[in-house]
Amino acid sequence: MIIDCHGHYTTAPGELQAFRDAQIAAFNGRGATPDVNKLAISDDQIRESLEKAQLKLQRERGTDLTIFSPRASAMAHHVGDEAVSLAWTRVCNDLINRVVNLYPDNFVGVCQLPQSPGVSPTNSAVELERCVKEFGFIGCNLNPDPSGGHWTSPPLTDRHWYPFYEKMVELDVPAMVHVSSSCNANFHATGAHYINADTTAFMQFIQSDLFKDFPTLRFIIPHGGGAVPYHWGRYRGLAQDMKRPPLAESVMKNVFFDTCVYHQPGIDLLTRVIPVENILFGSEMVGAVRGIDPTTGFNYDDTKRYIDALAIPAEAKQAIFEGNVRRIFPRLDARLKQRAA
């Protein structure tokens, strides 16, 4: 089985964005707040939005199941206020639940969180619990920078985040560290802000004893871990200079990287530097980079090809494609075992 740990509903019907536009307009004093109950998206619209995109690509590329969450760039936690963020988040998560119910063999849900700059992450725990317990979601996307590129929140290792981590541990779900769009013109969202955040989160983890406090807490750093694998020597050396424990002890029991790296040399480096047990297959389709690489003739984000081409044992590929994902997402593992029984 091939499980893609990183997919977003980037192709949702236009009614969703229309709702969001009306919501933001109302927040800015133009028009009434849209009624969630009047957001009319039919099952056929959902099917159509996926059949031509994510489902088509699953079939073409030979992947089986995608861990699916709302469009990350649209989370935009910096827009509106806490109430706006909560209403928007619930709408997006409800829609993912409908996708999962229509295609239970192809998708499993991961939720967006109702974060807001300056608001305690404690408030996000309620929505996480709703999605896990009511919908059977298996994880969440946690935004380390709800300000959208201004980094006004404390580091992920600060006690500010602890009440939310307690809920993650209680529910036994991991979080993907995933920023949203950038409202800082210096940082292009997917080209800079995403990769910055991935790299930033990893350095924060090195500097703290977070995983001593939460030994079972698990994070996936997407986009291949940002710049981390390429600069592995720097991080090992910094930990050493700071008298921190080796990375294998302090961080790598709790932190995992996906394979959303869009060329063969990048995947070669990732798998050479990072232990296989810390790598989860992911493609982020349909996502950040949608085109075809003229040097290969295949889509940049067809990351399965790069793993297929690796000169590593079959068991290692199996771990990346399935075993590690099931280990990091125990609720998914339980579901798949139940389905097979």
Active site residue 15: no
Task: Please identify, among the stretches 48-56, 84-92, 132-140, 276-284, the one whose residues bind Zn ion according to the rule CB under 5 A.
Answer: 276-284
- In the complex, residue closest to Zn ion by CB: 72
Task: Please identify, among the stretches 21-29, 71-79, 228-236, 242-250, the one whose residues bind Zn ion according to the rule CB under 5 A.
Answer: 71-79
Nearer to Zn ion, 9 or 211 (CB): 9
Nearer to Zn ion, 74 or 267 (CB): 74
Nearer to Zn ion, 72 or 140 (CB): 72
Residues 67 and 198: their CA atoms lie apart, in Å, by 19
Contacts of 2 (CB under 8 A, 6+ apart): 62, 63, 64, 65, 281, 304, 321, 322
226: left (phi over 0), alpha (psi -120 to 50) or beta: left
Task: Please identify, among the stretches 64-72, 296-304, 314-322, 327-335, the one whose residues bind Zn ion according to the rule CB under 5 A.
Answer: 64-72
Per-residue x/- mask for Zn ion, residues 292 to 311, rule CB under 5 A? --------------------
Kindly provide the residue ranges of all beta strands, DSSP E only, lying in 58-180, ordered along the sequence.
65-70, 107-109, 140-142, 175-177
> How does DSSP classify residue 191?
I
Other residues' Cβ atoms within 10 Å of the Cβ of residue 269:
16
Nearer to Zn ion, 202 or 211 (CB): 202
Q: Is it true that the peptide bond before 286 is cis, omega within 30 degrees of 0?
A: yes
Residues 280 and 76: their CA atoms lie apart, in Å, by 26
SS3 299: strand
The distance of closest approach from Cβ of residue 199 to Zn ion in the complex, given in angstroms and rounded to an integer, is: 15
- Which of 16, 41, 57, 72 touches Zn ion by CB under 5 A? 72
Pairing between β-strand 107-109 and β-strand 255-258 as defined by DSSP bridges:
unpaired
Annotated catalytic residue within 51, 284, 315, 322: 284
The distance of closest approach from Cβ of residue 318 to Zn ion in the complex, given in angstroms and rounded to an integer, is: 24
- In degrees, to the nearest 5, what angle opens at C-alpha 137 toward C-alphas 135 and 139? 155
Nearer to Zn ion, 169 or 183 (CB): 183
- Which of 258, 284, 302, 322 touches Zn ion by CB under 5 A? 284
Task: Please identify, among the stretches 68-76, 89-97, 143-151, 230-238, the one whose residues bind Zn ion according to the rule CB under 5 A.
Answer: 68-76
Element (H, E) at 232: helix 232-241
Nearer to Zn ion, 72 or 251 (CB): 72
Nearer to Zn ion, 198 or 284 (CB): 284
Pairing between β-strand 140-142 and β-strand 107-109 as defined by DSSP bridges:
unpaired
The first and second tokens of residue 75, run together, are: 């989370």
Contacts of 123 (CB under 8 A, 6+ apart): 82, 86, 114
Contacts of 61 (CB under 8 A, 6+ apart): 283, 302, 304, 305
Q: Are 167 and 129 in contact (CB under 8 A)?
A: yes
Residues 255 and 228: their CA atoms lie apart, in Å, by 12
The distance of closest approach from Cβ of residue 215 to Zn ion in the complex, given in angstroms and rounded to an integer, is: 27
Within 223-262, the residues that bind Zn ion by CB under 5 A are: none
Task: Please identify, among the stretches 26-34, 37-45, 70-78, 167-175, the one whose residues bind Zn ion according to the rule CB under 5 A.
Answer: 70-78
Residue 195 within binding range of Zn ion, rule CB under 5 A: no
Residue with token string 């993650």:
168
Per-residue x/- mask for Zn ion, residues 123 to 162, rule CB under 5 A? ----------------------------------------
Kindly state the number of chain residues that form the binding site for Zn ion, as judged by CB under 5 A.
Answer: 2
Q: Which residues bind Zn ion (CB under 5 A)?
A: 72, 284
Residues identified as active-site:
284
